[in-house]
Structure 1
Amino acid sequence: MTALRKNHFKAALKAGTLQRGLWCTINDTLVAEMCAQLGFDWMLFDTEHSALDPLTVLPLLQAVAPYGSSPIVRPGELAPAEIKKLLDLGAQNILVPMINTPEDAALAVASVEYPPVGIRGVSGLTRATAFGDISGYHKGAREEIAILVQIETLEALDNLEAIAAVPGIDGIFVGPADLAAAMGLAGEPSHPDVQSAVLTTIKRIVKTGIPAGFLSADEAFADAVTDTGATFVSRDIDMAALKRGLKQRLNN
């Protein structure tokens, strides 16, 4: 029989170890495999704002599996059926966008737990179970699954401590782009007012004892967030890095 795969990302979050990540939107297994070899602690495959979906994420999960980078998948929305499929495909880390209330957060948690605790549907012959070869998968799976919730609205900020208090939340991610829009600053995720709101929010998350996460290609902003206590942080997006590198070559 095959042993249940350990979730090194979740273990690092519990230990408070800084985890450096890469945001991934390119639907190409060679790109994903190359990035996985670079040394990122985690790679997030984004199905919310890219040409990815559960079926196209599957080969990307397979491509990075031999390496040390832990994959995270962001579903398009808080959709238990979609989350169930991603889990069955082998994703162990799920980042759910647009969590605004503790009820939203509770549904996200329930989506990754089997009954009677949660609502995840049961299937035996999946990639997650090593096609039925992991003995006791259904009893132990939740221990190796991290459910991360994304707060990115003013309503979510108002409910932050209540969201953090929901049992089973493994991390809270602050989304600067949508938060900027909610503040009337769409397209300005590094605006000083947004930075101030994000740093205050990170401090509030850290105070609850829940690991905090963030994405920004603005190095100074990312440094400030990390210094404030965020422990899973991405400083780049694969597509943006490709564009930036090619433009530099073109202009040299």
Structure 2
Amino acid sequence: MSTPNLDFLEIAANAGFKRVVCDVEHNAFSPDRREALVVAARAIGLSVFFKVEGPEPVWVQRALDLDVDGVIVPHCGRLEECHAALETAKFPPRGTRSYAAGRSARFTAPDAGYFARCDRDVLCLPMIETAHAFDDIDAILAHDCVDGVFVGPFDLALTRGRETYAFTDADRADISHIARSAKSAGKPWWIPAWKPQEQRFAIDEGASVRVIAAEHQVLMAGLASVIDQLPQRSAR
């Protein structure tokens, strides 16, 4: 999702989607609308993940306090540069997340299993979208606060010296490398896969989750479909 559109969220759930990623990094999601999206998503049975503004602890903490199912952390470089943000996703002694007696705790005192349950169930997915993160992927995956990784194919291609991402042999080789590293670490990897060939490749490489539709893409496709179905004028 690129906008805090509750109608779009509900339509997606009605269509059978199970997860939603809110791209907070690139779009305008005011604090109250973020909260409304999380509450609405949970009420209609969608898991909700926030791609936060950047690899800073404050953005991770604020998303977790809204009771999201996980955070996707963009702009990660080497582990030493992003570990503070990643560690904010888990409570001490495993990480540095601060307890808030709000929505994530159901507005009450935490039960005995609350902290362990959050650490287990709330996912921390750093993005592999820079050359530095790509080079350091094994260390990133080995970090105890990391549950898996999320591929950012366009930025990865650019920072790896290519003109764009075009699902070329080089692009596929990079993604395959990430997939092998994740498999070796025993952790899942996610990828945006907009086209059928990308989706088949992701399945073959063992991707756990494919993000297959973006809000603006869906709107453009819907409008194009409506126009294509208009009756054509008869030739004169």
Smaller-chain TM-score bracket? 0.7 to 0.9
Which amino acid in structure 1 is aligned with residue 33 of structure 2?
A: T
The residue that corresponds to 1:227 in the other structure is: 204
User: RMSD across aligned C-alpha pairs, in angstroms?
Assistant: 2.0
| Counterpart position of 2:186 | 209
**Equivalent residue of 2:37, what SS?**
helix
Higher RCO, 1 or 2 (CA under 8 Å, sep at least 6)?
A: 1
Q: How many residues were matched structurally?
A: 228
Q: Shift in Å at residue 186 of structure 1?
A: 4.5
Equivalents in 2 of 1:35, 1:186: separation in Å?
33
Query: What displacement does 1:219 show?
Result: 1.5
Structure 2: unaligned runs, 5 residues or longer:
230-236
Matched, 1:128 2:104: yes
1:67 aligns to what? 44
* Change in CA separation of 1:186 and 1:64 when aligned onto 2, cut-off 3 Å: farther
Asked if structure 1 preserves the Cα contact closer than 8 Å seen for 2:21 and 2:51, the reply is yes
1:43-94 deviation line (CA, Å, top 9, x unaligned): 1111012222544221111111123321111101012112111111111211
Q: How does 1:163-182 map to 2 (within 5 A)?
A: 163-182=140-159
Query: Could you tell me how far 1:227 is from its partner in structure 2?
Result: 0.8
Which residue does 1:78 correspond to in 2? 55
How much has 1:134 moved relative to structure 2? 4.6
Give the Cα separation in 2 of the matches to 1:188 and 1:55. 35
CA deviation vs aligned residue, 1:119-141 (integer Å, no higher than 9, x gap): 222321x1111112553434542
- State the secondary structure of the residue aligned to 1:236: coil
Equivalent position SS for 1:193: helix
Q: Is the 8 A contact 1:83 1:111 kept in 2?
A: yes
Overall identity of the aligned pairs, in %: 24
Rounded to whole Å, the distance in 1 between the matches of 2:179 and 2:116 is 33
Checking the alignment, whether the CA contact within 8 Å between 2:86 and 2:126 is kept in structure 1 is no
* Residue number in structure 1 paired with 2:232: none
Q: Which amino acid aligns with 2:64?
A: L
Question: Contact 2:193/2:202 (CA < 8 Å) preserved in 1?
Answer: no
1:18-65 CA distances to partner (integer Å, 9 max, x unpaired)?
Answer: xxxxxx212211111221232223111110122225442211111111
CA–CA distance in structure 1, aligned partners of residues 54 and 166 of structure 2? 21
Whether 1:98 aligns to 2:75 is yes
Letter in 2 for 1:147: C
Once residues 160 and 179 of structure 1 are traced to their aligned partners in structure 2, the CA distance between those partners, rounded to angstroms, is 13
Paired residues of 1:190 and 1:218 also in contact (CA < 8 A): no
User: 1: distance between equivalents of 2:182 and 2:119?
Assistant: 23
Tell me how far 1:196 sits from its aligned partner.
2.7
Query: Which ranges in structure 1 are unaligned for 5 or more consecutive residues?
Result: 1-23
- The CA distance in 2 between the partners of 1:55 and 1:180, in whole Å, is 35
Of 219-228 and 127-136, the range deviating more from structure 2:
127-136
Q: CA deviation at 1:175?
A: 0.7
- Aligned residue for 2:76, secondary structure, equals coil
Distance in 1 between the 2:89 and 2:133 partners?
A: 21
Q: CA deviation at 1:173?
A: 1.1
